[in-house]
């Protein structure tokens, strides 16, 4: 797999957020995998809350999907990924996280594409908050992509999502162990009761005298604390809470009627965060005024995180879009 290393990030100048905060300079770092830019169709991958632009290769978080001979084949496509400014991957940190909304990040990504002289991409794909950013990009620039693939996400944060993000924010601002405790709560949203039952079966850890579910949750909290920054978590949680392409804008139908892009919504039947019911309602609304829209569902007990776990199902759902050979079920 070829990797095009870009030594310097794009510098976004004089950026004013929706909330009126002025940032004189915002660094936008990115990676390019596969074929060089401008030599092949471009797939833009938007990362989720604790992800980054390292989508494949060593430490790549989506290696099951992206790479040589994979569904998104790096021998056929240029795969581009931006780091959300302030996500902690580079040295840039945003302390005033409430300055930003998901739409601001979509605007920054669009400015990044413009700086790279990219007027349209083959696909924008993203899971969770990354998919929310993708929706916002399409609403802002209807012709930016030929395909939109939002996975385990929606075009708006529901009351349930906002409530969980509010709780996350309370933990992050008030706990003596903010990252660990917030992550423990988040894992209850990312998985499902059935997933925990299948994995743990009420077993205990005799060495620690606790249930295995407890030691597993504590492990995930400790693991994130060691690699993630508090300011980054606060920012990404804020973005998850503020997905809404219609806020201070036009109606959903008016916005999406402007695009010719094919929309492939992928839900997860056990998702407790962005529920399948919400995804199906979005699909039914789209079908009223748009023909090239499709809905598919990952069947899994693993909840929201299934888009990172059920790679074989995801491979089959995406194969036709990317003209890829499917792996065996």
List active site positions: 128, 271, 304
Residue 4: phi and psi, rounded to 5, are -95, 110
Helix-strand-coil percent breakdown of the chain, rounded to 5? 40, 20, 40
* Bridge partner list, 245: none
Contact criterion met (CB below 8 Å) for 111 and 86: no
Three state DSSP letters for the chain:
CCEECCCCCEEEEEEECCCCCEEEEEEECEEEEECCCCCCCEEEEECCCCCCCCCCCCCCCCCCCEECCCCEECCCCEEEEECCCCCCCCCCCCCCHHHCCHHHHHHHHHHHHHHCCCCCEEEEEEECHHHHHHHHHHHHCCCCEEEEEEECCCCECCHHHHHHHHHHHHHHHHCCCHHHHHHHHHHHHHCCHHHHHHHHCCCEECCCCEEHHHHHHHHHHHHHHHHCCHHHHHHHHHHHHCCECCCCCCCHHHHHCCCCCEEEEEEECCCCCCCHHHHHHHHHHHHCCCCCEEEEEECCCCHHHHHHHCHHHHHHHHHHHHCCCCCCC
Q: Is 269 exposed, middle or buried (0-12, 13-18, 19+ CB in 10 A)?
A: middle
Tokens 């569904």, located at residue: 71
């Amino acid at each position: 797999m070829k990797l095009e290393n870009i030594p310097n990030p794009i510098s976004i100048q004089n950026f004013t957020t929706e909330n009126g905060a002025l940032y004189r300079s915002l660094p936008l770092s990115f990676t390019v995998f596969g074929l060089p830019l401008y030599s092949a169709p471009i797939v833009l991958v938007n990362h989720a809350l604790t992800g980054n632009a390292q989508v494949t290769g060593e430490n790549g978080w989506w290696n099951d999907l992206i790479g040589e001979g994979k569904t998104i084949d790096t021998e056929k496509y240029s795969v581009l990924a931006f780091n959300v400014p302030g996500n902690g991957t580079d040295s840039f940190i945003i302390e005033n996280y409430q300055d930003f909304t998901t739409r601001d990040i979509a605007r920054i990504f669009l400015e990044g594409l413009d700086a790279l002289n990219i007027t349209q991409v083959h696909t924008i794909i993203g899971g969770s908050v990354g998919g929310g950013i993708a929706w916002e990009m399409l609403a802002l620039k209807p012709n930016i992509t030929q395909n939109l693939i939002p996975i385990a996400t929606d075009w708006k944060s529901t009351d349930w999502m906002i409530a969980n993000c509010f709780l996350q924010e309370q933990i992050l601002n008030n706990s003596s162990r903010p990252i660990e405790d917030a992550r423990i709560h988040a894992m209850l949203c990312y998985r499902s009761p059935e997933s925990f039952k299948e994995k743990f079966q009420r077993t205990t850890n005799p060495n620690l005298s606790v249930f295995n579910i407890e030691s597993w949750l504590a492990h995930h909290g400790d693991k994130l604390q060691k690699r993630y920054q508090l300011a980054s978590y606060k920012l990404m949680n804020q973005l998850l809470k503020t997905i809404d392409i219609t806020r201070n804008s036009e109606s959903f139908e008016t916005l999406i009627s402007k695009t010719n892009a094919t929309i492939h919504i992928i839900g997860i039947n056990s998702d407790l965060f962005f529920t399948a019911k919400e995804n199906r309602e979005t699909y039914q609304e789209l079908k009223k005024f748009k023909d090239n829209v499709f809905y598919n569902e990952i069947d899994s007990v693993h909840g929201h995180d299934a888009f990172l776990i059920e790679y074989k199902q995801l491979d089959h759902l995406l194969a036709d879009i990317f003209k890829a050979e499917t792996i065996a079920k």
